[in-house]
């Protein structure tokens, strides 16, 4: 499939590692011009991208409107406009901690990055997006299913799904969709679950590159009819009944 992304101007948040870095690399490999935003820029190998165009990096905190606004302005100045915006910045919070033992500060931190950060990203980039452009947000299968100790994270990702639909209605010049993957092999997931849990998993684990492929499709012209949708990529697990058959 020809994605027709050559020459597109793309901004990716959370672009220093994990899914965000995979997206930045994938867009660049397709011939797009990419600016990667991350509050950890400088501590990764994001510049080590052999055989594909350089990716411009900017430090930004998505929870700080002034800081993010300045970063978006720098990205727009560098690129000359925006065609695609990808919101990958996210945190998991205290995974495995019951809600009754979770502090208000920890809850607020998860919501600030995963929800407010996406809202601010949409608010600040929409005026610069070209007509027919696209926003793709990263949600999670945790918007639909849950495990103990995941309440703030699940709430935040459920909000991203609702936000996606609301933005698709309000932003009439661009399309807005989100991707909802199950467990992805990223530094964040390994930090939360441990290496053994992923290396010896008895369930399928996605790669960040696989998720990036889903993002690129939703951002591309061939997906022009797809708007306001949550693409659930969980190997069909959510379709299975928990009742014995």
Q: How many CA atoms lie within 13 A of 140 on its CB side?
A: 25
Q: What is the residue-wise DSSP string for 1-13?
A: -----TT-EEEEE
How many other C-beta atoms can be found within 10 angstroms of the C-beta atom of residue 230? Answer: 21
Asked if 226 contacts 174 with a C-beta cutoff of 8 angstroms, the reply is no
Query: Does 126 participate in catalysis according to the annotation?
Result: no
Give the Cα separation of 36 and 18 in Å (integer): 12
Give the Cα separation of 95 and 219 in Å (integer): 30
Asked if 158 contacts 140 with a C-beta cutoff of 8 angstroms, the reply is no
Q: What is the residue-wise DSSP string for 64-112?
A: -HHHHHHHHHHHHHHHTSEEEEEE------STT--GGGS-HHHHHHHHI
Asked if 109 contacts 91 with a C-beta cutoff of 8 angstroms, the reply is yes
Catalytic residue among 126, 153, 217, 237: 153
**Token digits for 201?**
């998993």
Give the Cα separation of 55 and 237 in Å (integer): 36
Active-site residue set: 153
């Amino acid at each position: 499939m020809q994605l027709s992304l050559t020459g597109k101007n793309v901004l990716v948040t959370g672009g220093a590692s994990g899914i965000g870095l995979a997206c930045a690399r994938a867009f660049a490999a397709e011939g797009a011009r990419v600016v990667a935003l991350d509050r950890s820029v400088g501590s990764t190998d994001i510049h080590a991208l052999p055989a594909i165009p350089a990716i411009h990096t900017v430090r930004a905190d998505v929870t700080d409107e002034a800081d993010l606004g300045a970063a978006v302005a720098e990205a727009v100045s560098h690129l000359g406009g925006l065609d695609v915006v990808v919101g990958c910045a996210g945190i998991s919070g205290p995974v495995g901690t019951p809600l009754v033992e979770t502090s208000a500060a920890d809850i607020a931190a998860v919501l600030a990055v995963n929800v407010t950060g996406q809202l601010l990203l949409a608010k600040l980039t929409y005026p610069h997006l070209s007509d027919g452009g696209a926003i793709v947000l990263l949600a999670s299968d945790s918007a639909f299913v849950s495990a103990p100790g995941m309440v703030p994270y699940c709430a935040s990702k459920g909000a991203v799904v609702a936000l996606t639909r609301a933005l698709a209605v309000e932003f009439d010049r661009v399309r807005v969709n989100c991707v909802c993957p199950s467990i992805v092999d990223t530094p964040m997931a390994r930090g939360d679950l441990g290496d053994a849990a992923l290396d010896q998993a008895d369930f399928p684990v996605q790669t960040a590159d696989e998720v990036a492929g889903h993002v690129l499709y939703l951002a591309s012209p061939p997906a022009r009819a797809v708007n306001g949708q949550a693409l659930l990529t969980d190997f069909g697990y959510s379709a299975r009944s928990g009742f014995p058959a």
